Chains A and B, each alone.
Chain A
């Protein structure tokens, strides 16, 4: 290594050091600020239980869909969800991309009262739906993109209804018509309700016992949809256990696909584009550095 190169190298190190230092300073400042601001616990947004993150296989740069789960999920969607909900941006025919045969697609479509060229529109009349549920069930095509918490939220809703033991707890707590401080803690950890407001909690428990649709993760806890998926609600043909949790996991996988069928194409192209850009940028940096080395 000759002298000139050493000098060049040193100046680069020095310059890089300066850049790194200022970048670090900005990052530390931002992080400190963010920590101060976030740790301040903004009051208005508390009180809503956040669904836990699930290990979805399709997330991340290299994430891929579990094909078997996708297929099962499409079956759950067609045979269960579509009783009330539409998935209007997906046509039955498109399910062949998930590995269904033409005959299977035809059967699924006919089961829902449609033909295979049709969009996945529920046979439930929106007016009738409004009469019996008070709301028109939302279209599910974009549901995993249209809610805060994305697929974790949808999964949280599907699995967040009151269980039998929750009901038992509610009945036990409300036997004397009120919630003690001790009971509040127990209820808060089981049903994810705010322990600071026993009155509101008692109100919620009363409605739960009264048979209203309680869900841990729905903002406000009560809504129009009765628990849609139970153990064994849909018969799987591939031997997978059809528990509520499994059905939910599969249908959310399918809905995540339905929300953006091009997402795998996007991720596959992204790797190539970014790798190309990294190579080009390194080359441009080399050209730039050599050119500027003469300038003092």
Chain B
């Protein structure tokens, strides 16, 4: 065995790579459980690719057959129900895990120098995930699939001059239809593999600069680190166990919790469901889109720009935050801002879930006002974070010298 490895290592230094990048890879010893979510995201990605590949072996992308074929998978294919429910719920859990992963990065300043490129790869992954999830949701060809596709593709029509043409080009017809379904299936199959590639870049960028840690300080001493294996392999595996329990409770006992009843009605281009909503993970962005309604004919484009901007602003976050301290653990003002931001995202999601013309407190407060306020707070977070750090308004607490 060792002779074979020697032979291989002379030609391809596998052992050395594993040693330096996996087993003996020095990792800060004070990482908390929030650091589990990166490896959890990888687990979910693998679950999604595996179940997706096997679903694709039974699925047919065809406006006349797709709805039936999903039911065929649910009813006739051996363990088809398991593959499909794991895949459908996996999407929700993927976003759940990735949102925690992103928020962890925001709280502990993991986007700060020298981890900007690492952070950017992460946002690119997130952006591609959204595209993949959107196109995957179209494939069962239920009412929500169809009308979700119709509404989201129509966003493109907001682009000046070429918008209308662009939408028809994306549809491959004059409405969402068979050509749309086919191309979405092809892309839904391809994109996760591209995501996997960017994940490798994300890990490369991580290993070039090493992990941040809850204190947000640079690691100077070898005593502050542990070899990745066995310490973090075991800790990550323990996280996998906990995650799989929660995941399986949903897959086996509440598989339709995240799904809309309307999507069990076959797509009908002649009738829109009374209340269409995107999947929960898009709701905050959907609310931002809808909150811009006060700019007349410019509202549509502005809404789309605001929605895209809500993600794009993450790209410049590393340059907005000017604090000498990375981790919010030692930044009381930023910490409060952060929690306001988190609550704001939840409220945005709730606004996005409700009908656009709804109101609360016996009609005294239209939800659109709540949505606008929350959109302002969303973008306000980035501005205020910049302001309090650029002008030294925040007085940070003492930061430890070492872990």
Contact = CB atoms under 8 A, between A and B. Distances in A.
- Find the residue from A43, A148, A266 having the highest chain B CB count within 10 A: A43
A148 B288 CA distance: 26
Given A267-B253, A277-B244, A45 B264 contact: no
Contacts of B298: none
Contact of A281 (B81, B238, B362): B238
B252 to A, nearest CB: 3
B261 A147 contact: yes
B64 to A, nearest CB: 14
Contacts of B361: 40-41
Interface residues of A, number: 45
Nearest to B247: A277
Interface string A50-88: 000000000001000000000000000000000000000
Given A33-B343, A295-B231, A280 B261 contact: no
Contact of B235 (A37, A141, A150, A292): A292
Contact of B81 (A45, A260, A280): A260
Contact of A291 (B231, B240, B256): B231
Contact of B252 (A150, A270, A278, A284): A270
A37 B365 CA distance: 12
A278 B245 CA distance: 7
B82 interface: yes
B355 interface: yes
Contacts of B347: 33, 37
Contacts of A44: 354-355, 357-359
B237 interface: yes
Contacts of A41: 360-362
Contacts of B251: 270
B261 A146 contact: yes
A288 interface: yes
Contacts of B304: none
A284 B231 contact: no
Interface in B234-248: 234-235, 237-238, 240-242, 244-245, 248
Nearest to B357: A44
A43 B358 contact: yes
B81 A266 contact: yes
A89 interface: yes
A163 B75 CA distance: 38
Interface in A238-296: 259-262, 265-267, 269-271, 273-274, 277-278, 280-281, 284-285, 287-288, 291-292, 295
Given A30-B346, A284-B237, A291-B231, A277 B245 contact: yes
Interface in B347-375: 347, 350, 354-355, 357-363, 365, 367
B382 to A, nearest CB: 22
A82 B213 CA distance: 64
B248 A273 contact: yes
A142 interface: yes
Interface in A175-218: none
Contacts of A274: 245, 248-249, 252
A222 to B, nearest CB: 15
B226 interface: yes
Interface string B61-95: 00000000001001100000110010000000000
A219 interface: yes
Given A43-B359, A266-B252, A260 B354 contact: no
B264 A142 contact: yes
A219 B273 CA distance: 12
Contacts of B226: 295
A145 interface: yes
A271 to B, nearest CB: 8
A281 B365 CA distance: 47
A42 interface: yes
A260 B253 CA distance: 13
Contacts of B274: 219
Interface string A123-166: 00000000000000010011001111010000000000000000
A291 B227 CA distance: 12
A254 B73 CA distance: 21
B230 interface: yes
A42 B242 CA distance: 36
Interface in A26-44: 29-30, 33, 37, 40-44
Given A142-B71, A145-B256, A295-B226, A281 B242 contact: yes
A266 B82 contact: yes
B360 A43 contact: yes
14 contacts: A41-B362, A42-B360, A43-B358, A43-B359, A138-B265, A150-B261, A270-B248, A274-B249, A284-B237, A284-B241, A287-B238, A291-B231, A292-B235, A295-B29
Given A41-B362, A44-B357, A271-B252, 15 more contacts: A33-B346, A40-B361, A42-B355, A42-B359, A43-B362, A138-B265, A145-B256, A145-B261, A146-B262, A260-B74, A261-B75, A269-B82, A274-B252, A281-B245, A295-B231
